[in-house]
Structure 1
Amino acid sequence: MTKKAHNTTKQILKKALIATIILTFYTLQTNAVSIGAGPAVLNFNNMVRGGYAEDSVTVSTSGTENLTVVIESTGQIKDWVTVSTPMPMPLMAGERKNIKIVVRPPVTASPGEYSAILYIRAAPTAGIGNSTGLALGAGVGIQINVNITGREIKGYSLKAVNVKDTEVTFPIDITTLIENTGNIPLQPTFKVKILTPTGEETTAQKEFTVGTFNPGIQENYTFTLPSTGLAEGKYAASIAIKIENNETDLANLGFTLLPPGSLRLKGEFKSITLSENTIAPQKPVKITGIFQNTGEVPTNAQLTVEVYKGTELIKTIDSTETRVDAGETQLLDVTYTSEQPGDLTIRGTITYSKKKTPEKEITLIVSGGGLPTTYIAIGAAVIILIIGGVVYYKRNYAL
């Protein structure tokens, strides 16, 4: 390690030690006021003269009193540090707030190491009345370290990218999340193209120039391309970023162009019910399917019911096709009459705009003219127990 690097390390350790002592001191002074803040140290590395960087601190209280808080910086670079939230600020009992801290070194700053202390002071709001003066001991301190370099660094990181399936003739939306990992502002250009499954370019392509975003900042961008002239099927969205003369491919994501109405037409089969769960032979029962149109356009819905005895399909019944407006819930009914007793399984599905819902089922018991198989089994078991009891009694107690 060089002597210069050794001295720099000693300076950083010394500043961290001072910050820890200050943080401990002010924490001990705040027994009457419950105030906390973190992290204990904010480091802004590789900044350029006239540059910009930001980070955040979390200010919180676990007490039962509402507080009034003031945050201010002191030290050799206090004028470089800005708190985004107007002061004083309220902090409700039990509340946590994230506060943005901005550092802007002047263009006259020399390369080197700099530091400041961010003081966070608080007092019970009820105790200060209309005054903004706060007790000096009621607070915590956070160390701010700034490293100024003479070298400009351009860097970025792709945090997320997404493209959703859409319908033919509808716009194609591509969203990205980019972070500026350098130390100077960036103003990139994004090149977005829609490709066929074989990689051929389509007419859907465009360049997007976005606004400047600063070091350490993450920005969400949404790029919209028309799907005009593209047929149904699978495609890929190709995204590249260009900064000055350097162009880099970011992602190549697949998506599908769906037939018209595919996304706007949605429905849910809520439940299936019976007017009676147990009926006699020859007595009609009403079977109701509850359908909700959760899409954006009207649709026609039809309930289809299948009646099973065991694994044997006895009958299929369709309801009248009924119009259901967007957001509306509709009851779809059919009537069934059983000629024979027994346990029946009723299975239903609902068809709407050529789509079919998942199946739902319910049990119908047809009594009379005989007992259901469940009752027969129970009766047989009871008879066997009685006979067994009689035999046991005769063997053990009969003279």
Structure 2
Amino acid sequence: MKKLLIALVVFAALALPTAAMGLSPGEATVNNVLRGGYSERGFRVYNTEPSTVSFKIELRGSVKDWIKVVPGDTLEVGPSQVAAITLQIQPPQDTPNGLYEGTMVVTGTPVAAGGEGSISRIATGVQARVAVEVVDKEVLSLIILETRVESIEQKQPLVVAIRAKNAGNVRATPKVTVQIIDSNGQTVKTAEDSSTEILPTQSRDLKVVIPTLDLEVGKYTAHVSITVGGDSLAENRLDFEILEKGALRRQGELLGITGPSWVKVGEAAKLVAQFKNSGQVASDAKFTAEIYVDGALIDTATSETIEVAPGETSELSVIFRPDRPGRFVVRGSVFYSKRRTPESEFILNVQPLNALSFDLYYGIIVLLLALAVGFAVYKRAKHQPPASGAGFQ
């Protein structure tokens, strides 16, 4: 009987839902971190479940007191989605030189369809080794990854875009100087910018915006010079054109709308639209969502307007708080450059505040089945006659 009870407990535990998850990379070594300085390293948390999973992140070992997890040590990841986290590493000024090791432990727990509170959930976890080398020697190093400029229409500002990475262990503030040269070789505009500070290990986008209201249609060259700490890093000559208004193509795509599949009444649901600017000119984009129940429009929501560069994909989000349970249909589109994308749909399911979670129902059913099987086996064993054996002569 004792073995039977143990088997039933194991069966019930294995039948309860667990979180399938992944973590990448599996380990990270961060070198040349300055005492009292800053460094960072990114990780990705994978939820391979068909439902939302709540993750908890914990640092252990000698590095735990000077590493911060961003956006936070708890986060929810939607079904079959990936979340990015960043470890911000800041060893104190008095940290001795050396290699410090620790472990990042990530545990995941399935979130019930109606929210938190289920007793029938099992947390699973993965971990990654984190090693940090602390040094006292300053290294100033900046890598220019990309410098680009696009043709514009007349009276539009020229944007010189630069992507730079701080490969050293001290803060770097690059100075960017841009000269616009016309087809006759004359410098007609000059601009400078040194307002962006880049922390160690970070990559940042730098932009120099130059008004061109007084420039005529024609071909030009942007001479871009980048220095840091007085040292020259890069010089580029980039050709571009100023075209007549309306010459550049304007086009955009709404790639889809995402959000939580289930929320409760009154909970905030963040609805995110993925918009791609597939045109040739920067566009101001705004997401507008209409919310329907049983075919009737009950609410609308509009995002902030952001500028999306050619070829880039950006997220536009709105917050919706349902005031009733039911099945909500979200229909949305993006407005850009006096145009509108085709609509996309998303389904949001809303439960009452007092609704029991699916996991709780599942757990109760599993336990009842286990008890029923155990009782049947016990009753059968109790009424079964003992095996006959040889008697005494």
TM-score range, shorter chain: 0.5 to 0.7
C-alpha distance in 1, partners of 2:26/2:173? 33
Alpha-carbon distance, 1:213 to partner? 1.4
1:118 aligns with 2:104: yes
Instruction: Provide Cα deviations, 1:313-333, integer angstroms capped at 9, x if missing partner.
Output: xxxxxxxxxxxxx87xxxxxx
Amino acid of the residue matched to residue 125 of structure 2?
A: G
Amino acid of the residue matched to residue 53 of structure 1?
A: S
Residue 158 of structure 1 contacts residue 250 of structure 1 at CA under 8 Å; is this kept in 2?
A: no
Amino acid of the residue matched to residue 36 of structure 2?
A: G
1:164 aligns with 2:150: yes
Instruction: Provide Cα deviations, 1:223-250, integer angstroms capped at 9, x if missing partner.
Output: 1223354443221101111212223333
C-alpha distance in 1, partners of 2:108/2:248? 53
Which secondary structure does the structure 1 equivalent of 2:112 belong to? Answer: helix
C-alpha distance in 2, partners of 1:95/1:110? 40
1:214 aligns with 2:199: yes
Partner of 1:276: none
Instruction: Provide Cα deviations, 1:101-138, integer angstroms capped at 9, x if missing partner.
Output: 11111111121111110010122233994499x97x72
Instruction: Provide Cα deviations, 1:138-172, integer angstroms capped at 9, x if missing partner.
Output: 21111111111222111112222221222444322
Alpha-carbon distance, 1:48 to partner? 0.4
C-alpha distance in 2, partners of 1:266/1:42? 43
Amino acid of the residue matched to residue 68 of structure 1?
A: S
Q: Which moved more, 1:144-153 or 1:223-232?
A: 223-232
What pairs with 1:15-26 in structure 2 (closer than 5 Å)? none
C-alpha distance in 2, partners of 1:59/1:167? 43
Unmatched runs of 5 consecutive residues or more in structure 2: 1-15, 252-280, 282-337, 340-393
Match of residue 153, structure 1, among 139, 151, 159: 139
Partner of 2:376: none
| TM-score (structure 2 length as normaliser) | 0.54
Amino acid of the residue matched to residue 237 of structure 1?
A: A
Residue 45 of structure 2 contacts residue 84 of structure 2 at CA under 8 Å; is this kept in 1?
A: yes
Which secondary structure does the structure 2 equivalent of 1:170 belong to? Answer: coil
Residue 161 of structure 1 contacts residue 175 of structure 1 at CA under 8 Å; is this kept in 2?
A: yes
Alpha-carbon distance, 1:186 to partner? 0.9
Alpha-carbon distance, 1:266 to partner? 8.6
Quick one: structure 1 residues 123 and 204, their matched pair in 2 at CA, closer, same or farther if it must change by over 3 Å? same
Partner of 2:28: 42
1:249 aligns with 2:231: no
C-alpha distance in 1, partners of 2:250/2:145? 32
Match of residue 221, structure 2, among 215, 224, 236: 236
* Structure (1 or 2) with the larger CA radius of gyration: 1
Instruction: Provide Cα deviations, 1:165-200, integer angstroms capped at 9, x if missing partner.
Output: 2244432221111111111111111111112346x4
C-alpha distance in 2, partners of 1:129/1:230? 60
Residue 193 of structure 1 contacts residue 204 of structure 1 at CA under 8 Å; is this kept in 2?
A: yes
Partner of 1:11: none
Partner of 1:102: 88
Partner of 2:364: none
C-alpha distance in 2, partners of 1:121/1:188? 40
1:186 aligns with 2:203: no
Q: Which moved more, 1:92-101 or 1:185-194?
A: 92-101
Moved over 6 A (4+): 264-267
Query: What's the % identity of the aligned pairs?
Result: 22
Quick one: structure 1 residues 201 and 74, their matched pair in 2 at CA, closer, same or farther if it must change by over 3 Å? farther
Amino acid of the residue matched to residue 245 of structure 2?
A: G
Amino acid of the residue matched to residue 253 of structure 1?
A: L
Unmatched runs of 5 consecutive residues or more in structure 1: 1-29, 268-294, 296-325, 328-399
Instruction: Provide Cα deviations, 1:1-35, integer angstroms capped at 9, x if missing partner.
Output: xxxxxxxxxxxxxxxxxxxxxxxxxxxxx994312
Match of residue 263, structure 1, among 224, 228, 247: 247
Which secondary structure does the structure 2 equivalent of 1:60 belong to? Answer: strand
Match of residue 65, structure 2, among 79, 103, 124: 79
Residue 73 of structure 1 contacts residue 117 of structure 1 at CA under 8 Å; is this kept in 2?
A: yes
Amino acid of the residue matched to residue 261 of structure 1?
A: K
Alpha-carbon distance, 1:93 to partner? 3.1
RCO comparison, higher one (Cα < 8 Å, 6+): 2
What is the count of residue pairs matched by the alignment?
238
Instruction: Provide Cα deviations, 1:201-239, integer angstroms capped at 9, x if missing partner.
Output: 413001111221111211112212233544432211011
Match of residue 204, structure 1, among 178, 189, 206: 189
| TM-score (structure 1 length as normaliser) | 0.54
Quick one: structure 1 residues 264 and 114, their matched pair in 2 at CA, closer, same or farther if it must change by over 3 Å? closer
Residue 193 of structure 1 contacts residue 201 of structure 1 at CA under 8 Å; is this kept in 2?
A: no
Quick one: structure 1 residues 246 and 228, their matched pair in 2 at CA, closer, same or farther if it must change by over 3 Å? same
Partner of 2:295: none
C-alpha distance in 2, partners of 1:45/1:250? 29
Partner of 1:23: none
Partner of 1:68: 54
C-alpha distance in 1, partners of 2:116/2:210? 57
